[in-house]
Amino acid sequence: MQTRELKNRRLHARVPLGCDVQLQPISTPSASSTKCSYDSISRDISAGGMRIWSDRPYPTQTRLMLAFECDALEWTGITTCVGSVVWVEPDPTAGRCLLGIKFGDTEPGQTTLQ
């Protein structure tokens, strides 16, 4: 029953997506000292966010610039957007972590998808 309730909370359908994603922390006090991730892979995407396997964890509420392209979905060019980390699930056996990213966490005057 709990799974059904969680499923009903989702506003946007997820689409499986396996493409390389670059993550760059922005507008945080530690952004200059936090490294970018060039070895991340998306698990899925929706209009509201993305799940990503990352080579490094980021604290929740970290604002990130994401850059990705996906030939499998016939997207042309690189898509960039701003999002924020809403949850982190470490996987110590794989040396990676799964990140939940929410799109649309932007500063005034900034667009989310480009």
Superfamily per CATH, domain 2-103: predicted glycosyltransferase like domains (2.40.10.220)
Distances (CA, A) of 59 to 22, 72, 89, 90, 99: 17, 30, 11, 12, 10
CB 82 within 8 A of CB 106: yes
pLDDT along the chain (114 residues), means of 10: 47 76 79 72 88 91 88 74 93 87 64 40
Q: What is the pLDDT of residue 65?
A: 93
Cα 59 from Cα 84, distance rounded (Å): 10
Q: What is the pLDDT of residue 37?
A: 80
Cα 50 from Cα 18, distance rounded (Å): 11
The pTM of this model reads 0.72
Q: What is the pLDDT of residue 95?
A: 83
Q: What is the pLDDT of residue 112?
A: 40
- What type of residue is 4? R
Q: What is the pLDDT of residue 84?
A: 94
Q: Domains of the chain: which residue ranges?
A: 2-103
